[in-house]
Structure 1
Amino acid sequence: MPLPVVAVITAKPGSEDLVREALSELVPPTRDESGCLAYSLYRSTEDPTVFVTVESWREADDLAAHMRSEHIAAAFAKAGDGFAGRPVIHSLEALDEA
């Protein structure tokens, strides 16, 4: 069963463009990862400092490998201190499936 994940990343006010650019650069290489089933980046319409990724991974080990990838390290380096805090990553469990 795939592993759905939602990550919430908040930029410091004034750093929204920097964080958006850094996160946008993650999308193509992440989608190319062997264990990635889906990966989309969104920004909140209510709060422009809040970015959300909606992801699906083959298994937890694939997500762990993603978190250790060079493109994750590069995005965090590019965003520098533009993040308001650490990303909040939620691995999800389906409650409506038998």
Structure 2
Amino acid sequence: MIIVSASFTAKPGMRDAIAEISRKAVELTRQEKGNISYTLFKSSDDDVTMMYFEEWESLDDLRAHLKTDHIREAREARKDMLEGTVRVRVFESKEVEL
């Protein structure tokens, strides 16, 4: 399993607009091949921090997702609403003996 966290900072007053833009992308992503979960979170500590948390069956499924029209459109629509860069972390889940 592949786990992704993508955190970013919204410009002041843009959090709700970003959430609205993301609504369609989240809905369509959840229907994609290999998607296990895909959720946008808003920080409970402030009005600007947000994070996507995603689970994918494989890295190939994640790569295909990044090329979809709905993701490209959402990125383009919100690019001027973000402060700084998006911080993405990708993890691979594997069974390990303890």
TM-score (structure 2 length as normaliser):
0.85
Distance 2:69 2:81 in 1: 19
Pairwise mapping of residues 46-61 of structure 1 onto structure 2 (< 5 A)? 46-61=45-60
Q: Percent identity?
A: 32
Stretches of 4+ aligned residues off by more than 3 angstroms: 93-97
Residue ranges of structure 1 left out of the alignment (5+ in a row): none
Shift in CA distance, 93/62, structure 1 to aligned 2, threshold 3 Å:
closer
Q: How far apart are 1:57 and its partner, in Å?
A: 0.5
Which residue in 1 is equivalent to 2:77?
Answer: 78
Distance 1:20 1:67 in 2: 18
Residue ranges of structure 2 left out of the alignment (5+ in a row): none
Shift in CA distance, 66/95, structure 1 to aligned 2, threshold 3 Å:
closer
Shift in CA distance, 41/97, structure 1 to aligned 2, threshold 3 Å:
farther
User: Once the two structures are superposed, what CA deviation does each residue of 1:16-54 show, in whole Å capped at 9, x if it has no partner?
Assistant: 222111122211100000011111111000122111111
Q: How far apart are 1:59 and its partner, in Å?
A: 0.9
Which structure carries more strand by proportion?
2
Q: How far apart are 1:92 and its partner, in Å?
A: 1.8
Which residue in 2 is equivalent to 1:89?
Answer: 88
State whether residues 22 and 76 of structure 1, in contact with CA within 8 Å, keep that contact through their aligned partners in structure 2. no
State whether residues 3 and 59 of structure 1, in contact with CA within 8 Å, keep that contact through their aligned partners in structure 2. yes
Distance 2:32 2:66 in 1: 11
TM-score (structure 1 length as normaliser):
0.85
Aligned amino acid, residue 58 of structure 1? E
Aligned residues: 97
State whether residues 4 and 56 of structure 1, in contact with CA within 8 Å, keep that contact through their aligned partners in structure 2. yes
